[in-house]
Amino acid sequence: MEGAKTEVQRKTLEERREMDGLSRIRHSCAHVLATAVLRIWPEAKLDIGPPTDEGFYYDFDLEHRFTPDDFEQIEAEMKKVVKENQTFEFSKMTREEAKAHYAKLEQPFKLERIDDIPEEEQITFFRNGEFVDLCAGPHVPRTGNVKAFKLLRLAAAYYRGNEKNPQLQRIYGTAFKNKTQLNEWLEMREEAKKRDHRRLGKDLDLFSISEKVRPGLVNWHPKGARIRSIIEDFWKKEHFKNGYDLVYTPHVGKANLWETSGHLDFYREGMYAAMDVDGQEYFIKPMNCPFHVEIYKSGLRSYRELPLRWAELGTVYRYEKTGTLHGLFRVRGFTQDDAHIFCTKEQIEDEVKEVIRFCNMIWKTFGFTEVKAYLSTRPEKAVGEEARWDQATKSLEAAILAEGLPYEIDEGGGAFYGPKIDLKVKDAIGREWQTSTIQFDFNLPERFDLKYIGADGHAHRPYMIHRALFGSLERFFGILIEHYAGGFPVWLAPEQVRVLPLSDDQLEYADEVLKGLQQAEIRATIDTKSGKLNGKVKNAQLDKVPYMLIIGGKEQENKQVAIRHRLAGMKGACGLDEFITQLKDEELAKKTVDMEVSD
């Protein structure tokens, strides 16, 4: 076990070094971008230009309105800056010198940013050539180390993220160590565009969001709702198999519930406005946990009852700024696949191991084979006894090792109320997605004074674990759409089979086939439109239907169906019962299809 841990840590260190090197390149490239923009538009006002997970950006205030047509000119000037191989030089100024410097340059945003720096901290700068930026670094040694970059897109960004402040122009870009890595990433990005769940959701008639009428709120169309129903049925069945009980809780709660939980103190800006009911304030729930805690408190609990595992598909509502909304990935109303486990100190390691195993099994079932864990430990400011933190953290790490998952430790990165594990999965084109969370909570048991009677006859505080597998059904569905490019495997497909009669002469037999499929609980439709077979096949392909059953005179005469697979093409003819058996075996095995470029 110790050897496995050492190997994982070694790999993690290498990955961190790799990411740190990439971050330096991208941060440096942001400075190169600002240098180029100032050469072309000296009157530009600058704000900030940090690295990001995918690249970098820089924010500008400029009368000239950038368009993608400007990218060619800007990139050409950036290449000149790179070719000049300017040194990134570190320097310091006093607060007064720094303010005088930016006052002279007429850079108001930089002046204000100086005030953000605590009095006890140094005011630091990095210079490359003629460009000097307020910056803590780090950077690569010289601009010549920035070898492969690309400007990507434009966006509007309010200064400091406040809608009352000026709206700046943001230029996004990316940078890599070499052109090979850059080209690979750009190819992946183009593939990601083809898989965009917002486009596919519309093309396949899965869901809709009216940004004007109800931004951030999702309408599930019949096909999307069918897939959701399949996911929910699977989720419930697996939870019962794994020793969970289901609960249902209200959508609103009185203000005093959210005061006790701490949400009104720490999360009020994310909650929807209160409503008055019989003179009492009620809030729409942003989370399910306080209600699960209330269920725990509804009776006297004994150690003999523990662990208690309660799960809920609970719909919650959180206020998100309009500019942050993004398809199914960032919404205002969503259904969390929440669960809470209440257990004793002696039970926590086994419980966490089982949760990790459960999560891993779920993700592999849905076709995600690469799973990585991120363990966040105790921050400086935290609630709960240090011994409980240590015990919980050791249990989380032991569970990761037991499941054999690669992992990374974020020292001090835990929430103030408990350590946690975040699981991330890689999709078909190599993107990493934040998914499951396993979070200890030492806050709510204290706030609600949770207890159980131990074997010694005394009251003890239970351990409480928050756990979400998918995170939310909406976001998970968006990830699924993009992972499969809309071409769901048979067990998830909203329409598994489409019957294609060649002419009206085969309609009666085609209807007989359809009824046989439906009797076998296969999701099937029939294309009765007039037109040639090629057109019907094309429509079924565009709708991502896994199987087409083609029926001509020969099939009608022999009481057979000619099978066409969406990816594999024609597969021959057989009797309907034989096809049903094959499809049911595939459905039962929950086989995934080969990943593909979306049509």
Does residue 336 carry a catalytic annotation? Answer: yes
DSSP single-letter state for residue 51: B
* H or E segment to which residue 371 belongs: strand 371-376
β-bridge mates for residue 408, sequence order: 374
First to last CA, the chain: 46
| Distance separating alpha carbons of residues 283 and 292, to the nearest angstrom | 17
Question: Catalytic residue among 150, 195, 223, 318, which?
Answer: 318
Catalytic residue among 340, 353, 475, 498: 340
Question: Structure tokens of 159?
Answer: 């200064």
420 labelled catalytic:
yes
Please, how many CA atoms are within 13 Å of residue 249, restricted to the half-sphere of its CB? Answer: 29
Q: Which candidate in 31, 378, 466, 498 is catalytic?
A: 466
Task: Using the structure block, give the residue that is written with the tokens 């969406």.
Answer: 566
| Calpha distance 238→337 (Å, rounded) | 13
Task: Judge whether 135 counts as a catalytic residue.
Answer: no
d(CA 28, CA 50): 9
340 is known as an active-site residue: yes
Active-site annotation holder among 133, 338, 427, 441: 338
Three-state secondary structure call for residue 73: helix
Q: Which of 135, 289, 343, 359 is labelled catalytic?
A: 289
- State how far the Cα of 582 lies from the Cα of 571, in Å rounded to an integer: 12
483 a catalytic residue: no
Reference 151, options 86, 68, 82; nearest CA is: 68
Give 225: exposed, middle or buried? Use CB within 10 Å, 0-12, 13-18, 19+. middle
Catalytic residue among 86, 107, 336, 506: 336
Which CA distances in Å does 24 have to 12, 29, 127, 237? 18, 8, 15, 48
Sheet with 252-254, side-by-side order of all strands: 252-254, 280-284, 275-277
Of 420, 467, 475, 498, the catalytic one is 420
**What would the two tokens of residue 439 be?**
């979070």
Contact criterion met (CB below 8 Å) for 328 and 477 = yes
Catalytic site residues?
Answer: 289, 318, 336, 338, 340, 420, 466
